[in-house]
Amino acid sequence: MSTFRVIEGNIAKPKGFKATGIYSGIKKVEKHDLGILISEVPAYAAGAYTTNLFQAAPLVVTKESIGQQGKLQAIIVNSGNANACTGERGLDDARSMQQAVANAFSIAPEHVGVASTGVIGEYLPMSKVIQGIENLPASLSSESGPFFSQAILTTDLVEKTVCVELEIGGTLVTMAGTAKGSGMIHPNMATMLAFIATDAKVDQAFLQASLKKATDETFNMITVDGDTSTNDMVLVMANGLSGNEELSETHPEAEDFYQALCYCMRELAKKIARDGEGATKLLEVEVKGGPSKATASQVAKTVISSNLVKTAIYGADANWGRILCAVGYSGADISPDKIDVFLGDIQVVESSFPIPFSEEDAREYLLQENVKVVVDLHMGSEKATAWGCDLTYDYIRINASYRS
């Protein structure tokens, strides 16, 4: 049973956090493109990063910062330019952003995380960026939290936020998150950025372990288009200002904290999948009956990543053969004669053979905004869920003109 409560709020809801976003001139259109999340005090921090070998300069700098003391006090984010594949100049620019934030907010530069998203291979317009950072303190207010969520968007159509509260030892703790992601999204830290803030007091080692585990169950289980970006990053900051007894792996309420974190990350992951470029539907693939968690995850990821499955979902075509085909080439060690497949509650395959079903009912189901595919391997009790979206004509239109 959940011990947390979902509440209204933005990334600045937890005690001691403020956030804002402004237009600095990085983007060609006048939309927020520079944001900051800042804590009153240095917070324990944890990060998860892209597995792409071409790691963007901001990611490199942020990993260095967290690696020094396990703490951050601020995260500066820009959209419209990824500062990726920019060499030494890109690293210098990311560090200049760190220093500019340190100067503007009187904090240590090593306590500043940096994140960027947008076009790869172009240098940041640093005069505009630095001027923008200098303007950020004046824009901070009790109402400016949502501007941060707006400032991190690229091709996203909607802001993605979540907020929960729970009690730890009788002390009320708040956790809030925001994310961006619409294209270049694929399991293994699929371009996506996500930020979680909490006023809980948490041991850094437990925070990092919790983030890694939750990432594998949430952000690493989504896909839009099979592309793992250069800038993907999830950061968590825990400033301890709620005053709870410090959470660690052995704390009796450690699992409650983890479940709240996992919920926030799962909701953000699902919102990213639903907002996939050109998407009209959220697709959920649940694999059950697995001999191991790894097997169930492998099959779920393969099915959710299949372009043929995704296009069939877009066309409301109950083409179960594409699903079974993806299960077969997943590389998982499964029994090919035991598979059941369901579209929602409609069973279309039993023991790996088709069974009669109403095409009309299946089409009506597949026309809904939320579609679920269930695959039962009948080999054990483990299960896994992955999320994605349909693949539409608009995905090609959006990405064919991304830089223009």
Give one DSSP letter per residue of 120-185, joined into a string.
Answer: TT----HHHHHHHHHHHHHH--TT-HHHHHHHT-SS-SS-EEEEEEEEETTEEEEEEEEEEESSS-
Helix axes 126-139, 87-105, angle to 10 degrees: 20
Q: In this structure, what token pair is assigned to residue 96?
A: 């200049």
Q: In this structure, what token pair is assigned to residue 317?
A: 């075509």
Q: Which residues face 228 on adjacent strands?
A: none
- Cα(244)–Cα(292) distance, rounded to whole angstroms? 36
Using CB atoms within 10 Å of the CB of residue 250, give its burial: 0 to 12 exposed, 13 to 18 middle, 19+ buried: exposed
Catalytic site positions: 191
Using CB atoms within 10 Å of the CB of residue 191, give its burial: 0 to 12 exposed, 13 to 18 middle, 19+ buried: buried
Contact 282, 274 (CB under 8 A): yes
From the list 36, 42, 37, 30, the residue with the least C-alpha distance to 135 is 36
- Cα(305)–Cα(276) distance, rounded to whole angstroms? 13
